[in-house]
Amino acid sequence: MSNDNTNKPIIEWNSFPFMDFPRKSILLVIFLFFMGYILWNIAVVNWEQPLYYVLGVLILFIGVAPYFVSTKYEFYEQHLLIRYPIVKVEKKYTDYGSFYVDKKGLMLSTFKQVSRLDAFRGQSIRFSKDQSEREAIIAFLSERLIKL
């Protein structure tokens, strides 16, 4: 894949749900503390197995980690680039067969139709809070992929 640092992206935006939705973020943090407390009581107090507590908390936080990090999306002519704080994902549009839209974003699917494997093989794209890029990115991807 060519890294087009000299070319500007056609469409780009940032998504940071933790800062964009403060009420939901507060509820999520409260929920995580509550779940941590429940895990502590089950794993450490009842079972006396602190390793299970650590594993449970890790699994819990890994599942919601994307909510807590800022993500930058850049769409170029031949590929897309997704920048997380530590990781950079670069994919060609030819890797995907279709896409579909929901309230908070869209899913790039490796299949021609909706599949249960999309969460594992596809790429989830979150819109920004104001969703100003929504129509532009749908039109852009419609030219390159099949919309479901």
Closest CA to 82 of 95, 63, 101, 97: 95
The answer to whether 15 and 68 are in contact (CB under 8 A) is no
Read off the pLDDT of each residue in 63-85 and give the average, rounded to a whole number: 95
- Is the pLDDT assigned to residue 1 strictly greater than 70? no
The position carrying tokens 């409260």 is 30
In single-letter form, the type of residue at position 25 comes to S
Percent above pLDDT 90 for the chain: 84
C-alpha 99/C-alpha 51 separation (Å) is: 40
User: Which segments of 3-148 does DSSP mark as H helices, in order?
Assistant: 17-20, 22-39, 50-64, 118-121, 134-144
The position carrying tokens 């507590």 is 53
Percent above pLDDT 70 for the chain: 95
